[in-house]
Structure 1
Amino acid sequence: MIGEEYIFKRPNGEKILGLHWPNETAKATIIIVTGMEEHASRYEDFAKFLIEQGFRIFCLDHLGQGANAREEKLKGVWPVGAFEQTVDIVNELVTKVKGDLPVYLFGHSLGSFILQRYIQKYGSNVDRVILCGSNGPDPMVKIGFALANLIVTKRNYYKKSKLFNNMVFGAFAKAIPNAKTEFDWLSRNEDNVKKYINDPYCGYGSTGGFYKEFLRGMHKLFDKKELSRIPTTLPILLIAGAEDPVGKSGEGVHKLEGIYRKLGIKNLNKIIYENMRHEILNELDNMKVYQDIALFYNS
């Protein structure tokens, strides 16, 4: 692996761990914001490709994930207010690394929802954004948040929630007919699915507190006032697999595109990839995705 350990010290003194792929001749900086229950080192191949394209890359592990959760008890744990805090961490990193280079963002899955909020709060601070494996408004978010408020208390906040894990991942698993594993919804690439299943820092199940904070953040994403804060000049690319249950097989991504178009975003594009599921970066034909990403960042 060529990614180097990166320790980001927040203005409040808190240390967040991740990886940095340096490039002394970089023309821009790319910050990757990962998905749920995964970690920065899963983006090694993608980062190598981006280096070849002339970029340098940073990727922080989320709170409760990867290098920030080396102890079992820390996995899948989010403190109160963690969704907004994560958005702020991304912006603090943007401020830290910006310098004279443009900054581009890439958010996958959970990371894409973090970036949906980011561009509302800090969109003018970056130059291009890709939302990968995302979704638009979902009525289940309101229901889920109400349920989380009802059943997630101080007593069980830091305990893993079988109920929410089954509701979320169980629904994704059921979306794939004749699945061989509970994680086939990630990709058609069986090797990728096996690696995910065998990785102790992936798919471990999150706490009730995580889901409560995640749903709290999701609950705010489509507030009209907050949406109106997105700069209309910010170039945005939406990418997803046509068989991705997170984005309702493209339907949710289409709704998100419609919302952004109504806002008047001038440079907005969408690509839905046939025969691909959630992790399009790790699919069998992922080079097509890589090339489309490079085209967007290089344009």
Structure 2
Amino acid sequence: MEAAAAMQVEELTSGASGRIIPVFRNLRRSILSYESFRKSLLLVHSFFVWILLLLPRRHRLSSTAPSPPSSPRAASSSDNLGCQWTTSLFVGVKRNALFCRSWFPFSGDLKGILIIIHGLNEHSGRYTHFAKQLISCHFGVYAMDWIGHGGSDGLHGYVPSLDHVVADTAAFLEKVKSEKPGVPCFLFGHSTGGAVVLKAASYPHIEEMLEGIILTSPALRVKPAHPIVGAVAPIFSMVVPRFQFKGANKRGIPVSRDPAALLAKYSDPLVYTGPIRVRTGHEILRISSYLMRNFQSITVPFFVLHGTADRVTDPLASQDLYNEAPSKFKDIKLYEGFLHDLLFEPEREEIAQDIIDWMEKRLTARYHENANDYW
């Protein structure tokens, strides 16, 4: 049921459709391999899940209110867990269509809103379970797929500039603030999404719109697989930016101790599983290096969470962020023996509750700050 809920993709952009359709064109060629055949069956199953989700949706769309200009197409629905969820398209800073989701409780005052920025190669639909835990505690949730990821436009796994993702994140935050004025907002980023959120929040005009940020396994002090990769990456990213560089791939490194979570991730057709593209890899190295040099510019309240056994990103770099950033309200939690995808570890609910508890603590502190300012 959880896997089906995560597949609530109603409107895929042309970029995402282009990523899925070729898979079926290659079925006849790959069917000779048992492993390929097994993966093909999973993809066919996912395809029919989407069809089943789409059919009832079309009937309901006729009664949906007109969408705002920044979301040219939108659809909404609800489930039996007291959650109303919506999908829409958001026009990015480079005029690319970005696929977005939101989850809200049916009733009750909102404590705040959390905006989710997913990690490299994944998409926002993977965070449905986390979103439902948040709304059960009266937090609203928005999420956005990067360019080249999930349901958004672009070549799969290709990010021409992470600065564009930072700008899209800022623009999406501004849109959310305009739709929900007066509701406190937090930004959440996982892995490379954490680096994006951290850089966005380092700008004063973005920081002033936020109550705080949450970072899980942020991509800080990222090192290439071999020193020569870092040396040639700037050149190759200009000459052959879309080239898939197998030597830089971290394929095979476990990211969760939950086998079911790993199977769900790597059988999801919207998760990119190919070798990293040269420009994308260079952009990760570039933003990571920038952040490591500029910890002193981080004054936003933050909570950083990291597994000590993470082999994808460096937990010691998260500790350095906590030690060096001059933020007055900051916290860190290191989970002994946990891996990279914290919200997909067996203890995911406890980790999500740690995030919720921190946001509530931050809102309480902000209330007292405002009360002291008033008197």
- Common topology (TM > 0.5): yes
Give the structure 2 partner of residue 189 of structure 1. 258
Residues 279 and 12 from structure 1, CA distance in 2 versus in 1: closer, same or farther, beyond 3 angstroms?
closer
**1:86 is the counterpart of 2:168:** no
Give the structure 1 partner of residue 321 of structure 2. 256
Give the structure 1 partner of residue 48 of structure 2. none
Aligned-residue Cα RMSD (Å) equals 2.3
Q: Any idea what SS the aligned residue of 2:152 has?
A: helix
What amino acid does structure 1 have at the position aligned with 2:152? N
What amino acid does structure 2 have at the position aligned with 1:76? G
Counterparts of 2:267 and 2:219, CA distance in 1: 27
Q: CA deviation at 1:135?
A: 4.7
Q: CA deviation at 1:27?
A: 2.4
Q: CA deviation at 1:162?
A: 1.4
Residues 280 and 271 from structure 1, CA distance in 2 versus in 1: closer, same or farther, beyond 3 angstroms?
same
Q: CA deviation at 1:295?
A: 0.3
Counterparts of 1:137 and 1:13, CA distance in 2: 31
Q: CA deviation at 1:140?
A: 4.9
Within the candidate set 285, 292, 298, 1:230 is matched to 298
TM (norm. structure 1) is 0.82
Counterparts of 2:260 and 2:148, CA distance in 1: 25
In the TM superposition, what are the counterparts of 1:61-80 in structure 2 within 5 Å? 61-69=145-153, 74-79=155-160
**1:210 is the counterpart of 2:280:** yes
Residues 39 and 117 from structure 1, CA distance in 2 versus in 1: closer, same or farther, beyond 3 angstroms?
same
Q: CA deviation at 1:125?
A: 2.2
What's the CA shift string for 1:128-151, capped at 9, x where partnerless?
Answer: 111101254356599554320133
Q: CA deviation at 1:23?
A: 3.5
Identify the structure with bigger relative contact order (alpha carbons < 8 Å, sequence gap 6+).
Answer: 1
What's the CA shift string for 1:76-110, capped at 9, x where partnerless?
Answer: 1122xx21111111111111111211110111001
Counterparts of 1:10 and 1:208, CA distance in 2: 23
What amino acid does structure 2 have at the position aligned with 1:255? D
Give the structure 2 partner of residue 159 of structure 1. 243
Within the candidate set 229, 240, 258, 2:306 is matched to 240
Within the candidate set 102, 119, 127, 2:201 is matched to 119
Q: CA deviation at 1:221?
A: 1.4
Give the structure 1 partner of residue 62 of structure 2. none
Give the unaligned 5+ runs of structure 1: 171-181
Give the structure 1 partner of residue 118 of structure 2. 34
Residues 105 and 141 from structure 1, CA distance in 2 versus in 1: closer, same or farther, beyond 3 angstroms?
farther
In the TM superposition, what are the counterparts of 1:103-114 in structure 2 within 5 Å? 103-114=185-196
What's the CA shift string for 1:18-46, capped at 9, x where partnerless?
Answer: 21113454221110010011011100000
Q: Which runs of 4+ in 1 moved over 6 A?
A: none
Q: CA deviation at 1:252?
A: 2.4
Q: For the pair shown, which has the larger CA radius of gyration, 1 or 2?
A: 2
Q: Any idea what SS the aligned residue of 2:289 has?
A: helix
Does structure 2 conserve the Cα–Cα contact (< 8 Å) formed by 1:145 and 1:219? no
Q: Mean alpha-carbon deviation: is it higher for 86-95 or for 136-145? A: 136-145
What amino acid does structure 1 have at the position aligned with 2:155? L
Q: Any idea what SS the aligned residue of 1:20 has?
A: strand
**1:146 is the counterpart of 2:231:** yes
What amino acid does structure 2 have at the position aligned with 1:284? P
Q: CA deviation at 1:222?
A: 2.6
Counterparts of 1:84 and 1:160, CA distance in 2: 21
Q: CA deviation at 1:11?
A: 6.1
Counterparts of 2:226 and 2:287, CA distance in 1: 11
Does structure 1 conserve the Cα–Cα contact (< 8 Å) formed by 2:111 and 2:139? yes
What's the CA shift string for 1:233-276, capped at 9, x where partnerless?
Answer: x321110112111343x32222222222xx2x211111111231
Residues 292 and 9 from structure 1, CA distance in 2 versus in 1: closer, same or farther, beyond 3 angstroms?
same
Counterparts of 2:212 and 2:225, CA distance in 1: 27
Counterparts of 1:152 and 1:90, CA distance in 2: 23
Give the unaligned 5+ runs of structure 2: 6-77, 79-84, 362-375
Residues 141 and 94 from structure 1, CA distance in 2 versus in 1: closer, same or farther, beyond 3 angstroms?
farther
TM (norm. structure 2) is 0.67
**1:199 is the counterpart of 2:268:** yes
Does structure 1 conserve the Cα–Cα contact (< 8 Å) formed by 2:150 and 2:270? yes
Does structure 2 conserve the Cα–Cα contact (< 8 Å) formed by 1:75 and 1:204? no
Give the structure 1 partner of residue 341 of structure 2. 279
What amino acid does structure 2 have at the position aligned with 1:6? S
Does structure 2 conserve the Cα–Cα contact (< 8 Å) formed by 1:134 and 1:247? yes
Residues 199 and 14 from structure 1, CA distance in 2 versus in 1: closer, same or farther, beyond 3 angstroms?
closer
